[in-house]
Amino acid sequence: MKAIMYHYVRPFDPEYPNFTNLDIEDFRKQLDYFEQTFGFVSKDDFLNSFISNKLPKGVILTFDDGLSCHYNYVFPELQSRNLWGIFYIPTSPFTKFKMLDVHRTHLLLGKFDSYEIYSFISAILTDSMLDNSKIEEFKLFTYNSQINDQYTLLVKRLMNYFIDYQSRTKIMDSLMKHFLPNESEICNNFYLSSKQINEMHLNNMVIGSHTVNHPVMSRLNEAEQEFEIAQSFKYLESVTSTLDHKTFCYPYGGFHSFNDITIRLLNNTACKYSFNVEHRDIELRDLRNSPQALPRYDCNQFEHGQIRNRII
């Protein structure tokens, strides 16, 4: 069984020429390809696989980050094909009405030259803003398999891993004010609405937690991790009346992005399964022994999953 991870799925937007989204046409072609090559696993078969001794064959689809394109483009496409998907939603954009820093980075790098963004950051960056203890560790794991130009890579590493979260938000606020001053307008159209989440939930889609603030969980202490898990589920349960089951997905993914505390907290909250990013098939032993770290492929590892219209 293969789980596939998607982020942005939408048509090319000339306003953001460097944006790394999967084109909706390619998404359709990829669904055709999966149908013909592997087939899809039904929701019931997937959920039963945790208790049965039979491993279903085929593909399941997951979509991260609670993006509006998941309602506008993905949801209708899945419905027309009688398919289902799991949608992992970070909840702070709904409660704080503010974009997540990770998405602000995507927008800035999607619209502007990465060197320009890097220069702006380095002009205000000081050593005291860097989380020194993590730098060497994260260098080994992050973004090795993505295609990024040098400055895109530097900006992503700095923003996602190296700068402490408080300083990061301050730097991001300045960046957005300078480069994208209409942020609140962008934010309104960027994420799903609570109504859309509920509609998807009522129409056979699975809604899961992707934390509150989209942090690297392993960078947080136990109380902070507990907040991210408990509060995100609380919000999702309030907008859907009740979730059929709890499922979670680690922001950024990879074994470096969570720890034993995260797994214990997920087990304690009766989370049925969680997705990591590890590029291999799901085996029966994963479902039995490590349901809180199920492997997933990136869509770009399969035909039609590549990003087009990319200008570096």
The closest alpha carbon to 244, from 44, 64, 5, 4, belongs to 44
Of the residues 65, 101, 183, 286, which one makes contact with Zn ion according to CB under 5 A: 65
Task: Name the residue nearer to Zn ion (CB basis): 49 or 101.
Answer: 101
- Helix, coil or strand: residue 10: coil
Least distance (Å) between residue 210 CB and Zn ion: 6
Least distance (Å) between residue 90 CB and Zn ion: 7
Stretch that binds Zn ion, among 16-24, 56-64, 197-205, 287-295 (CB under 5 A): 56-64
Task: Name the residue nearer to Zn ion (CB basis): 87 or 120.
Answer: 87
Least distance (Å) between residue 64 CB and Zn ion: 4
Residue whose C-beta lies closest to Zn ion: 64
> Please, what's the b/e burial string for 213-238 (b: 16 or more CB within 10 A of its CB; e: otherwise)?
bbbbbbbbeeebbbebbebbbebbee
Q: Which long-range contacts (CB under 8 A, 24 or more apart) does 173-176 make?
A: 174/120, 174/124, 175/104, 175/108, 175/117, 175/120, 175/121, 176/99, 176/104, 176/108
Least distance (Å) between residue 121 CB and Zn ion: 21
- Is 64 a binding residue for Zn ion by CB under 5 A? The answer is yes
Q: Binders of Zn ion among 243-302, rule CB under 5 A?
A: 251
Task: Name the residue nearer to Zn ion (CB basis): 65 or 183.
Answer: 65
Task: Name the residue nearer to Zn ion (CB basis): 64 or 101.
Answer: 64
Task: Name the residue nearer to Zn ion (CB basis): 2 or 296.
Answer: 296
Region of 10 on the Ramachandran plot (φ > 0 left; ψ -120 to 50 alpha; else beta): beta
Least distance (Å) between residue 91 CB and Zn ion: 12
Task: Name the residue nearer to Zn ion (CB basis): 117 or 216.
Answer: 216
Tokens standing for residue 225:
């991790």
Residues in contact with Zn ion by CB under 5 A are 64-65, 251
